[in-house]
Protein backbone atom coordinates (compact mmCIF):
# COMPACT_ATOMS: atom_id res chain seq x y z
CA UNK A 1 0.00 0.00 0.00
CA UNK A 2 1.76 3.19 -1.12
CA UNK A 3 0.63 5.47 1.77
CA UNK A 4 0.00 3.91 5.14
CA UNK A 5 -0.78 5.64 8.40
CA UNK A 6 0.73 3.61 11.22
CA UNK A 7 1.25 4.05 14.93
CA UNK A 8 4.83 3.49 15.90
CA UNK A 9 8.05 5.04 17.10
CA UNK A 10 9.70 6.22 13.88
CA UNK A 11 13.15 5.08 15.05
CA UNK A 12 11.86 1.49 14.86
CA UNK A 13 10.74 1.69 11.23
CA UNK A 14 12.53 -0.70 8.86
CA UNK A 15 12.43 1.45 5.76
CA UNK A 16 15.05 2.90 3.45
CA UNK A 17 14.76 6.39 4.94
CA UNK A 18 13.09 8.04 7.90
CA UNK A 19 12.40 11.76 7.97
CA UNK A 20 13.39 13.91 10.91
CA UNK A 21 11.41 17.00 11.96
CA UNK A 22 14.53 19.05 12.62
CA UNK A 23 15.30 22.73 13.23
CA UNK A 24 17.34 24.95 10.94
CA UNK A 25 20.64 24.24 12.74
CA UNK A 26 20.26 20.46 12.12
CA UNK A 27 22.13 19.99 15.38
CA UNK A 28 19.44 18.10 17.27
CA UNK A 29 16.66 19.13 19.61
CA UNK A 30 13.63 17.70 21.43
CA UNK A 31 10.64 15.72 20.12
CA UNK A 32 11.22 13.28 17.32
CA UNK A 33 14.57 14.95 16.54
CA UNK A 34 15.84 14.03 20.02
CA UNK A 35 14.55 10.43 19.68
CA UNK A 36 16.26 10.00 16.30
CA UNK A 37 19.62 11.35 17.49
CA UNK A 38 19.53 9.22 20.63
CA UNK A 39 18.76 6.06 18.66
CA UNK A 40 21.24 6.82 15.85
CA UNK A 41 24.19 7.64 18.14
CA UNK A 42 26.90 10.34 17.80
CA UNK A 43 27.79 9.55 14.16
CA UNK A 44 24.56 11.24 13.06
CA UNK A 45 25.32 14.51 14.85
CA UNK A 46 28.86 14.45 13.47
CA UNK A 47 27.51 14.19 9.92
CA UNK A 48 24.86 16.86 10.58
CA UNK A 49 27.60 19.29 11.64
CA UNK A 50 29.02 19.18 8.11
CA UNK A 51 25.74 20.24 6.46
CA UNK A 52 25.65 23.94 7.36
CA UNK A 53 22.03 23.91 8.53
CA UNK A 54 18.89 23.88 6.41
CA UNK A 55 16.15 26.37 5.53
CA UNK A 56 12.51 25.99 6.48
CA UNK A 57 10.69 23.91 3.86
CA UNK A 58 13.92 22.33 2.64
CA UNK A 59 15.56 18.95 3.37
CA UNK A 60 19.03 17.38 3.63
CA UNK A 61 20.07 13.73 3.79
CA UNK A 62 22.59 11.82 5.93
CA UNK A 63 23.45 8.25 6.84
CA UNK A 64 21.55 6.70 9.73
CA UNK A 65 24.12 5.64 12.36
CA UNK A 66 22.70 2.80 14.46
CA UNK A 67 19.14 3.11 13.13
CA UNK A 68 17.63 0.21 11.14
CA UNK A 69 17.10 2.45 8.09
CA UNK A 70 19.74 3.51 5.52
CA UNK A 71 19.19 7.28 5.53
CA UNK A 72 17.81 10.06 7.67
CA UNK A 73 16.27 12.95 5.76
CA UNK A 74 16.26 16.10 7.88
CA UNK A 75 13.58 18.62 7.04
CA UNK A 76 12.68 21.85 8.79
CA UNK A 77 8.97 22.45 9.21
CA UNK A 78 7.42 25.89 9.72
CA UNK A 79 6.63 27.20 13.19
CA UNK A 80 2.87 27.76 13.40
CA UNK A 81 2.08 31.48 13.59
CA UNK A 82 -1.66 31.43 13.03
CA UNK A 83 -1.60 30.03 9.51
CA UNK A 84 -1.15 33.32 7.69
CA UNK A 85 2.62 33.19 7.27
CA UNK A 86 2.87 30.66 4.46
CA UNK A 87 2.91 27.75 6.89
CA UNK A 88 0.93 25.46 4.59
CA UNK A 89 3.22 26.04 1.56
CA UNK A 90 6.33 25.54 3.67
CA UNK A 91 4.98 22.34 5.20
CA UNK A 92 3.98 21.01 1.76
CA UNK A 93 7.48 21.81 0.58
CA UNK A 94 8.98 19.76 3.46
CA UNK A 95 7.16 16.64 2.26
CA UNK A 96 7.88 17.27 -1.43
CA UNK A 97 11.60 18.01 -1.04
CA UNK A 98 12.06 15.07 1.35
CA UNK A 99 10.36 12.70 -1.09
CA UNK A 100 12.42 14.01 -4.00
CA UNK A 101 15.59 13.53 -2.01
CA UNK A 102 14.50 9.98 -1.16
CA UNK A 103 13.87 9.26 -4.83
CA UNK A 104 17.28 10.63 -5.86
CA UNK A 105 18.78 8.14 -3.40
CA UNK A 106 16.74 5.22 -4.82
CA UNK A 107 14.70 4.80 -1.65
CA UNK A 108 11.70 2.53 -2.11
CA UNK A 109 10.23 3.15 1.33
CA UNK A 110 10.14 6.27 3.51
CA UNK A 111 8.60 7.03 6.90
CA UNK A 112 7.52 10.52 8.00
CA UNK A 113 6.51 11.83 11.40
CA UNK A 114 3.79 14.47 11.43
CA UNK A 115 6.16 17.36 10.79
CA UNK A 116 5.62 20.63 12.72
CA UNK A 117 2.75 19.14 14.72
CA UNK A 118 4.61 18.96 18.05
CA UNK A 119 6.93 21.66 19.39
CA UNK A 120 6.28 23.84 16.28
CA UNK A 121 2.57 23.93 17.13
CA UNK A 122 0.94 23.24 13.74
CA UNK A 123 -2.65 22.08 14.50
CA UNK A 124 -2.57 18.31 14.16
CA UNK A 125 -5.65 17.90 12.00
CA UNK A 126 -4.32 20.44 9.50
CA UNK A 127 -0.80 19.02 9.64
CA UNK A 128 -2.21 15.62 8.82
CA UNK A 129 -4.23 16.97 5.92
CA UNK A 130 -1.20 18.73 4.43
CA UNK A 131 0.90 15.58 4.86
CA UNK A 132 -1.67 13.31 3.18
CA UNK A 133 -2.19 15.75 0.30
CA UNK A 134 1.49 16.35 -0.36
CA UNK A 135 2.37 12.65 -0.17
CA UNK A 136 -0.53 11.55 -2.35
CA UNK A 137 0.33 14.19 -4.99
CA UNK A 138 3.87 12.75 -5.12
CA UNK A 139 2.57 9.17 -5.29
CA UNK A 140 0.43 9.99 -8.30
CA UNK A 141 3.71 10.54 -10.17
CA UNK A 142 6.10 8.07 -8.51
CA UNK A 143 6.19 4.55 -7.07
CA UNK A 144 7.16 4.49 -3.41
CA UNK A 145 5.95 3.03 -0.13
CA UNK A 146 5.36 5.92 2.26
CA UNK A 147 4.46 5.62 5.92
CA UNK A 148 3.02 8.41 7.99
CA UNK A 149 4.00 7.51 11.53
CA UNK A 150 1.72 8.71 14.28
CA UNK A 151 3.40 8.41 17.63
CA UNK A 152 0.44 8.44 19.89
CA UNK A 153 -3.12 7.80 18.84
CA UNK A 154 -4.33 10.37 21.37
CA UNK A 155 -2.13 12.94 19.72
CA UNK A 156 -3.86 12.21 16.47
CA UNK A 157 -6.99 14.03 15.42
CA UNK A 158 -9.01 14.38 12.31
CA UNK A 159 -10.94 17.62 12.34
CA UNK A 160 -13.31 17.45 15.27
CA UNK A 161 -16.29 18.43 13.10
CA UNK A 162 -15.68 15.56 10.68
CA UNK A 163 -15.15 13.20 13.61
CA UNK A 164 -18.44 14.22 15.20
CA UNK A 165 -20.27 14.05 11.90
CA UNK A 166 -19.06 10.50 11.28
CA UNK A 167 -19.72 9.50 14.89
CA UNK A 168 -23.29 10.75 14.49
CA UNK A 169 -23.68 8.88 11.21
CA UNK A 170 -22.42 5.69 12.86
CA UNK A 171 -24.84 6.19 15.78
CA UNK A 172 -27.81 6.72 13.48
CA UNK A 173 -27.04 3.74 11.28
CA UNK A 174 -26.03 1.40 14.07
CA UNK A 175 -29.35 2.22 15.73
CA UNK A 176 -31.17 1.52 12.48
CA UNK A 177 -29.49 -1.86 12.17
CA UNK A 178 -30.52 -2.76 15.68
CA UNK A 179 -34.22 -1.98 15.53
CA UNK A 180 -36.58 -4.66 14.19
CA UNK A 181 -37.38 -2.61 11.12
CA UNK A 182 -33.71 -2.01 10.53
CA UNK A 183 -32.95 -5.68 10.97
CA UNK A 184 -35.52 -6.67 8.39
CA UNK A 185 -34.23 -4.07 5.96
CA UNK A 186 -30.68 -5.13 6.55
CA UNK A 187 -31.27 -8.88 6.32
CA UNK A 188 -28.78 -9.97 3.69
CA UNK A 189 -30.10 -11.97 0.77
CA UNK A 190 -27.93 -14.42 -1.04
CA UNK A 191 -27.78 -15.73 -4.56
CA UNK A 192 -27.35 -19.45 -5.31
CA UNK A 193 -23.62 -19.08 -5.10
CA UNK A 194 -23.80 -17.56 -1.64
CA UNK A 195 -22.73 -14.18 -2.94
CA UNK A 196 -24.58 -11.26 -1.31
CA UNK A 197 -27.18 -10.03 -3.72
CA UNK A 198 -27.28 -6.27 -4.12
CA UNK A 199 -30.60 -4.46 -4.40
CA UNK A 200 -31.34 -2.68 -7.67
CA UNK A 201 -33.18 0.58 -7.88
CA UNK A 202 -34.20 0.38 -11.53
CA UNK A 203 -34.98 -2.18 -14.21
CA UNK A 204 -32.06 -0.78 -16.23
CA UNK A 205 -29.55 -1.44 -13.47
CA UNK A 206 -31.00 -4.92 -12.95
CA UNK A 207 -30.63 -5.63 -16.69
CA UNK A 208 -27.08 -4.30 -16.53
CA UNK A 209 -26.34 -6.58 -13.54
CA UNK A 210 -27.83 -9.64 -15.22
CA UNK A 211 -25.68 -9.03 -18.27
CA UNK A 212 -22.61 -9.34 -16.05
CA UNK A 213 -23.76 -12.12 -13.79
CA UNK A 214 -20.81 -14.41 -14.45
CA UNK A 215 -18.29 -11.64 -14.23
CA UNK A 216 -15.58 -12.11 -11.59
CA UNK A 217 -14.25 -9.36 -9.33
CA UNK A 218 -11.23 -8.77 -11.52
CA UNK A 219 -13.30 -8.70 -14.73
CA UNK A 220 -15.73 -6.24 -13.25
CA UNK A 221 -12.91 -4.07 -12.00
CA UNK A 222 -11.20 -3.98 -15.42
CA UNK A 223 -14.50 -3.29 -17.17
CA UNK A 224 -15.25 -0.36 -14.86
CA UNK A 225 -11.77 1.04 -15.38
CA UNK A 226 -12.36 0.91 -19.15
CA UNK A 227 -15.83 2.37 -18.95
CA UNK A 228 -14.47 5.31 -17.01
CA UNK A 229 -11.66 5.85 -19.50
CA UNK A 230 -9.10 5.54 -16.71
CA UNK A 231 -5.58 4.25 -17.06
CA UNK A 232 -4.79 1.22 -14.87
CA UNK A 233 -2.10 3.20 -13.08
CA UNK A 234 -4.48 6.05 -12.38
CA UNK A 235 -6.91 3.60 -10.80
CA UNK A 236 -4.50 1.66 -8.59
CA UNK A 237 -2.79 4.85 -7.44
CA UNK A 238 -6.13 6.41 -6.53
CA UNK A 239 -6.93 3.17 -4.71
CA UNK A 240 -3.66 3.37 -2.78
CA UNK A 241 -2.77 -0.09 -4.11
CA UNK A 242 0.71 -0.96 -5.33
CA UNK A 243 1.46 -1.98 -8.88
CA UNK A 244 2.42 -5.57 -7.99
CA UNK A 245 -0.89 -6.29 -6.31
CA UNK A 246 -2.77 -4.73 -9.19
CA UNK A 247 -0.87 -6.90 -11.71
CA UNK A 248 -1.79 -9.97 -9.67
CA UNK A 249 -5.47 -9.02 -9.75
CA UNK A 250 -5.28 -8.22 -13.45
CA UNK A 251 -3.64 -11.56 -14.26
CA UNK A 252 -5.93 -13.77 -12.20
CA UNK A 253 -9.56 -13.83 -13.23
CA UNK A 254 -10.58 -15.47 -9.97
CA UNK A 255 -8.48 -13.33 -7.63
CA UNK A 256 -10.17 -12.87 -4.24
CA UNK A 257 -9.14 -9.50 -2.78
CA UNK A 258 -9.47 -8.58 0.87
CA UNK A 259 -12.38 -6.31 1.76
CA UNK A 260 -10.19 -3.19 2.22
CA UNK A 261 -8.69 -3.81 -1.25
CA UNK A 262 -12.07 -4.28 -2.90
CA UNK A 263 -13.46 -1.18 -1.15
CA UNK A 264 -10.39 0.82 -2.16
CA UNK A 265 -11.13 0.12 -5.84
CA UNK A 266 -14.76 1.15 -5.35
CA UNK A 267 -13.51 4.47 -4.00
CA UNK A 268 -10.95 4.91 -6.80
CA UNK A 269 -13.66 4.27 -9.39
CA UNK A 270 -16.00 6.66 -7.56
CA UNK A 271 -18.77 4.07 -7.58
CA UNK A 272 -22.22 4.77 -6.22
CA UNK A 273 -23.32 2.88 -3.14
CA UNK A 274 -25.21 0.41 -5.28
CA UNK A 275 -22.23 -0.23 -7.55
CA UNK A 276 -19.95 -0.50 -4.51
CA UNK A 277 -22.19 -3.22 -3.10
CA UNK A 278 -22.06 -5.00 -6.44
CA UNK A 279 -18.26 -4.86 -6.70
CA UNK A 280 -17.83 -6.00 -3.09
CA UNK A 281 -20.34 -8.77 -3.75
CA UNK A 282 -18.10 -10.09 -6.53
CA UNK A 283 -15.43 -10.63 -3.90
CA UNK A 284 -17.92 -12.21 -1.49
CA UNK A 285 -18.41 -9.16 0.77
CA UNK A 286 -21.41 -7.08 1.74
CA UNK A 287 -21.71 -3.59 3.21
CA UNK A 288 -23.33 -4.05 6.56
CA UNK A 289 -24.63 -1.55 9.06
CA UNK A 290 -23.30 -3.59 11.93
CA UNK A 291 -19.74 -2.71 11.04
CA UNK A 292 -18.13 0.68 11.68
CA UNK A 293 -15.77 0.14 8.76
CA UNK A 294 -18.71 -0.33 6.40
CA UNK A 295 -20.67 2.63 7.76
CA UNK A 296 -17.65 4.93 7.39
CA UNK A 297 -17.22 3.84 3.75
CA UNK A 298 -20.91 4.42 3.22
CA UNK A 299 -20.66 7.86 4.86
CA UNK A 300 -17.97 9.02 2.44
CA UNK A 301 -19.72 7.62 -0.64
CA UNK A 302 -23.00 9.25 0.40
CA UNK A 303 -21.13 12.55 0.78
CA UNK A 304 -19.48 12.15 -2.63
CA UNK A 305 -16.04 12.27 -1.00
CA UNK A 306 -13.76 9.77 -2.75
CA UNK A 307 -10.47 10.97 -1.33
CA UNK A 308 -8.94 7.73 -0.11
CA UNK A 309 -6.49 9.48 2.18
CA UNK A 310 -9.24 11.38 3.95
CA UNK A 311 -11.22 8.17 4.26
CA UNK A 312 -8.17 6.43 5.71
CA UNK A 313 -7.66 9.26 8.19
CA UNK A 314 -11.22 8.75 9.38
CA UNK A 315 -10.86 4.95 9.50
CA UNK A 316 -7.68 5.38 11.50
CA UNK A 317 -9.39 7.76 13.91
CA UNK A 318 -12.13 5.17 14.49
CA UNK A 319 -9.53 2.40 14.84
CA UNK A 320 -10.63 0.50 11.73
CA UNK A 321 -8.62 -1.25 9.02
CA UNK A 322 -7.42 1.15 6.34
CA UNK A 323 -8.26 0.96 2.64
CA UNK A 324 -5.67 -0.33 0.20
CA UNK A 325 -3.65 -3.44 -0.45
N1 LIG B 1 8.22 8.71 16.41
C2 LIG B 1 7.24 9.27 15.67
N3 LIG B 1 6.71 10.46 15.95
C4 LIG B 1 7.16 11.13 17.03
C5 LIG B 1 8.21 10.63 17.86
C6 LIG B 1 8.72 9.35 17.52
N7 LIG B 1 9.69 8.78 18.22
N8 LIG B 1 8.45 11.53 18.84
C9 LIG B 1 7.59 12.56 18.65
N10 LIG B 1 6.82 12.33 17.57
P11 LIG B 1 8.16 17.41 17.08
P12 LIG B 1 8.09 19.72 15.25
C13 LIG B 1 5.76 13.15 16.96
O14 LIG B 1 7.95 18.30 18.25
O15 LIG B 1 6.75 20.11 15.75
C16 LIG B 1 12.65 19.69 17.83
O17 LIG B 1 13.21 20.26 18.97
C18 LIG B 1 5.10 14.18 17.84
O19 LIG B 1 4.04 13.58 18.58
O20 LIG B 1 9.18 16.35 17.19
O21 LIG B 1 8.33 19.72 13.77
C22 LIG B 1 13.36 20.11 16.57
O23 LIG B 1 14.76 20.22 16.77
C24 LIG B 1 4.57 15.15 16.79
O25 LIG B 1 3.27 14.75 16.33
O26 LIG B 1 8.58 18.28 15.76
C27 LIG B 1 12.73 21.42 16.28
O28 LIG B 1 13.29 22.44 17.05
C29 LIG B 1 5.54 15.04 15.63
O30 LIG B 1 6.37 13.90 15.91
C31 LIG B 1 11.30 21.21 16.69
O32 LIG B 1 11.34 20.18 17.67
C33 LIG B 1 6.44 16.24 15.45
O34 LIG B 1 6.77 16.79 16.71
C35 LIG B 1 10.44 20.72 15.55
O36 LIG B 1 9.12 20.70 15.95
pLDDT of residue 184: 35
CB count in 10 Å sphere of residue 264: 27
pLDDT of residue 198: 47
User: How many A from CA of 8 to the centre of ligand 1?
Assistant: 13
Q: Is the CB of 308 under 6 A from ligand 1?
A: no
Report whether pLDDT(196) > 80: no
What is the tens place of the pLDDT at every residue in 129-182? 899 999 989 998 999 999 999 887 655 566 677 778 888 888 888 755 554 433
User: How many A from CA of 159 to the centre of ligand 1?
Assistant: 20
- Asked if 266 and 311 count as a contact pair (C-beta separation under 8 A), the reply is no
pLDDT of residue 68: 97
Instruction: Name the band, by pLDDT with cuts 50, 70 and 90, for residue 77.
Output: very high
Q: Is the CB of 11 under 6 A from ligand 1?
A: yes
Q: Is the CB of 115 under 6 A from ligand 1?
A: yes
Q: In this predicted model, which residue has the larger pLDDT, 267 or 193?
A: 267
Report whether pLDDT(211) > 90: no
Catalytic residues: 33
Q: Can you tell me the distance from the alpha carbon of 74 to that of 18, in angstroms, rounded to the nearest whole number?
A: 9
Residues of the chain with pLDDT > 90: what percent? 66
User: How many A from CA of 121 to the centre of ligand 1?
Assistant: 10
Reported residue count of the chain is 325
Q: Is the CB of 140 under 6 A from ligand 1?
A: no
Q: Can you tell me the distance from the alpha carbon of 39 to that of 31, in angstroms, rounded to the nearest whole number?
A: 13
What is the tens place of the pLDDT at every residue in 15-71? 999 999 999 999 999 999 999 999 999 999 999 999 999 999 999 999 999 999 999
Q: What is the pTM of this model?
A: 0.75
Amino acid sequence: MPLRIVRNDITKMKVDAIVNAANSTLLGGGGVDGCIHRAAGPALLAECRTLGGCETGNAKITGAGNLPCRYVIHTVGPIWRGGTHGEREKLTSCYRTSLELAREHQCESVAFPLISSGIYGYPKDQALQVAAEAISAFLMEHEMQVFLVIFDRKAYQISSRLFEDIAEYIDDHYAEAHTDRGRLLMAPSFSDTGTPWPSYKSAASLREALAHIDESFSEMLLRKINERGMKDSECYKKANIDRKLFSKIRGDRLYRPSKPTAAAFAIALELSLEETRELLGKAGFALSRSSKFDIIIEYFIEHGNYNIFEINEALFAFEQNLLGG
